[in-house]
């Protein structure tokens, strides 16, 4: 989007917007959506993209880079959540909830990274770090889920960084 388009968008008020023709209105709407996405992704852009991609891969979802997906992840990253912790939460909850008809509907970005529950999930990870048996069982379940293999670098990454083993 050019700077002229940004200025035009900012100058257009909602009152003027309704007077525009159909084609111009569609172009402006598209430009406003793009501008809005840019404004939301002011920091942690690469980390947010990586986490959304990882979430989609693990859950077979198709979340996009939208405000509703970006904002909760970005907020948790600002609070100090690491990408590896975010990935570990995704794996943990996918393994636990994906085949549970009651919990599967809650396997979404807003649940995992919302302000209310994210700290609980992080605490659950920390408890697992302290319990080697629980960690080993979790790793077996994650491998059974089909996204990880014992040889994959993701297992090592999850284990060493997110789960505190080396």
Cα separation, 106 vs 158, whole angstroms = 23
Query: How does residue 137 score in pLDDT terms, banded at 50, 70 and 90?
Result: confident
Residue 15, pLDDT above cutoff 70: no
pTM, to two decimals: 0.67
Return mean pLDDT, the chain: 78
Residue 149, pLDDT above cutoff 80: no
Tokens of 113: 């990274």
Q: Report the largest interatomic distance among the alpha carbons of the chain, rounded to a whole angstrom.
A: 66
Domain parsing of the chain, residue ranges:
3-40, 45-162
pLDDT tens per residue, range 29-74: 666 666 555 545 668 899 999 999 999 999 999 999 998 999 999 9
Judge whether 164 and 129 are in contact, CB under 8 Å: yes
């Amino acid at each position: 989007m050019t700077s002229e388009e940004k200025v035009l968008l900012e100058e257009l008020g909602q009152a003027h917007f309704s007077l525009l023709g159909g084609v111009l209105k569609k172009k402006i709407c598209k430009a406003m959506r793009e501008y809005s996405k840019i404004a939301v992704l002011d920091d942690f852009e690469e980390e947010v993209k990586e986490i959304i991609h990882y979430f989609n891969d693990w859950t077979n979802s198709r979340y996009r880079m939208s405000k509703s997906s970006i904002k909760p992840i970005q907020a948790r990253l600002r609070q100090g959540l690491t990408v590896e912790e975010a990935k570990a939460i995704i794996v943990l909850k996918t393994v636990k909830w994906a085949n549970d008809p009651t919990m599967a509907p809650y396997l979404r970005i807003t649940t995992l990274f919302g302000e209310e529950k994210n700290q609980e999930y992080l605490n659950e990870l920390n408890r697992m770090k302290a319990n080697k048996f629980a960690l080993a069982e979790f790793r077996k379940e994650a491998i059974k889920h089909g996204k990880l293999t014992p040889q994959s670098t993701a297992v090592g990454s999850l284990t060493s960084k997110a789960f505190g083993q080396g």
